[in-house]
Amino acid sequence: MQILRRANVASTKLLKALTWSPSRLTRCFTEEARDRVRALKPGDKLHGYTVRRVEEVPDFFITAVMLTHDKTGAEHLHAARDDENNTFSVTFRTTPMDSTGVPHILEHTVLCGSEKFPVRDPFFKMLSRSMATFMNALTAYDWTMYPFSSQNEQDFKNLMSVYMDAAFRPLIRELDFCQEGWRLEQTDLTDPSSPITFKGVVYNEMKGVFSNSQSLYMQEALNELLPSHTYGVVSGGDPTHITSLTHEQLRDFHAKHYHPSNARFFTYGHLPLESHLEFINDSLNSFSEIEPSVRVPLEPRWKKPRSKHISCAPDPMAADPEKQHTVSVNFLMSEITDVYENFIASVLGYLLTNGETSPFYQALVESGLGSDYSPNTGFHSETKEAIFAVGLLNVREADVEQVVKIIDETVDKVIEEGFEKTRINALLHQIELSQRHQGGNFGFHLAITLASTWNHEGDPIQSMQVGTILDKFRDDLKQNPRLLQEKVKHYLKVRHELRCLQHQHIEFLTLSMYEGSFIMSRKMLVKSAFFMLSTKFLHVFIS
């Protein structure tokens, strides 16, 4: 299982999408798989589905077909391509309103057994039996995905059967919830008199995440920049809140979010679309369409910038004990459903921060005020509205305001002077080259790349039309040479801005303020939960 978080490097989403792994030259693809779907046209009926669009994606040798399931409204995108490594995924928009980690725990728990496969952990049993080239489940800020890839047709069908039953008909047993989420357990299982503590797969995982000051910093910055809805909480789960989640709440979350009307299916490769649709339609026939109440609203814009102070423990191994502060300025950008505008914003993020000749690298990193960029520096498009952040690690407390001043001055300088044409052209050339050098498991990475935009009713096919986007960008830049400067002014000279400072408290030599409060609350929660348990039920955890 994997929880997705914002990257800690400055990059564009498009470049990440096209350069996943050590590159290899794209082989010559035949047309057989694409020819099978080219005859389809909007309005055609196919195994309980209606075809909405059929569109060529020449940059990736794909013919894309968008369909809607007639009975439930589930969306399906098929990317026909003569690639034997076929991919399937089903993605749900999951929008928690608290930090109990319910989508993360549910992602784990549904794979512990289903109606058709009531055995213990069928997912992990398939790992040792399947010929899959990829199997996993992923939790992001506002979606949960169940993807796999396989080169064998029968194996692909077997995996689809396991995944579909797990997603839509899981058992969600209470003991599985205790195993994957949280439970009370003796520290020594052989000694009933030993102290009782909290345990659980997700609970322990998120304890590790929150023990890392950089992870805590990025999470706090996101929560403060987008506080009004689901991004204001911790989708993966805050250990101080995970233990308040109940088994009943977990089942309720599944019933609300894991419905076909809230699902987006993706298939990729050379296997026939018809067989995919026939199987999925049979699995969904017992459902009827509903209106999922899981939309994410736009963040209300602030009238003035805000500040956030985060406390953590000093690093005893730091080269300079006086330089342990992290500071960044975070900006809200475009809606990610506007594919072209989001592309421009990602280009800005790259040009502003990537490489030793970039404006912020020269102004911040080379200033000597800090050791490197802050962990959240760069352009991020995993939320409904994209984010750009820039800052420094390992700064003296006395230099914090100077860092913020340099950021403001650098923005003004870029608005005035713009970017070197050679850097812009080099970036566009790099994107073009990356289309010809696509890494392994292309289908899975394509599914990940499209997930966030599609999750908010964006156009996933348009997102794949890289050549068209590049042509338009070049034309617009030719017509208006100040295009990028105007965009910098539009996005980075606004009031929806968060100035985030992480500072070390010397009195917490080994524990951050978060860790200290976590330990205190854990002790109280253990006592409270212990007294709520009967002796018989407690025996389940120590037997």
Burial class (CB in 10 A: 0-12, 13-18, 19+), 272: middle
State yes or no: is 84 an active-site residue.
no
Q: What number of other Cβ atoms are within 10 A of residue 124's Cβ? A: 11
- Number of Cα atoms under 13 Å in the Cβ half of residue 33: 24
- Secondary structure letter of residue 398 according to DSSP: G
**Residue in the block written with tokens 């949280």:** 182
The C-alpha atoms of residue 122 and residue 125 are separated, in whole angstroms, by: 5
Contact yes or no for 103/253 (Cβ under 8 A)? yes
CA trace torsion 359, 362, 364, 366 (10° rounding): 170
Pinpoint the alpha helices (H) of 330-465: 339-353, 359-363, 400-417, 421-436, 442-455, 460-464
Give the integer Cα–Cα distance in Å for 398 and 6. 29
Scanning the structure block, which residue is given the tokens 């990829």?
Answer: 134
Contact 119, 113 (CB under 8 A): yes
Q: Is 107 a catalytic residue?
A: yes
In order, the DSSP letters of 107-143 are HHHGGG-BSS--SS-HHHHHHHH---SEE--EE-SSE
SS (H, E, C) 228-273: CCHHHCCCCCCHHHHCCCCHHHHHHHHHHHCCHHHEEEEEEECCCH
How far, in Å, are 32, 180, 241, 348, 376 from residue 15 at the CA level?
A: 29, 35, 36, 13, 18
- With CA atoms as reference, report the closest residue to 459 among 340, 345, 298: 340
Buried b vs exposed e over 405-429: b needs ≥16 C-beta within 10 Å? ebbeebbeebbeebbeeeebeebee
Q: Strand pairing partners for 211? A: none
The catalytically annotated residue of 56, 84, 180, 457 is: 180
Give 263's contacts (C-beta < 8 A, 6+ positions apart): 72, 74, 75, 90, 91, 92, 167
Task: Give me the catalytic one of 56, 84, 107, 289.
Answer: 107
Q: Rg of the chain's alpha carbons, rounded to an integer?
A: 25
Mapped onto helix, strand or coil, the DSSP state of residue 75 is strand
209-219 CB burial, b ≥16 within 10 A, e <16: bbbebebbbbb
Question: Which CA distances in Å does 114 have to 163, 250, 272?
Answer: 9, 15, 27
Q: Yes or no: say if 137 and 146 are a contact pair by the CB < 8 Å rule.
A: yes
Going by the DSSP 8-state scheme, the letter that residue 293 receives in this structure is: -
Catalytic site positions = 107, 180
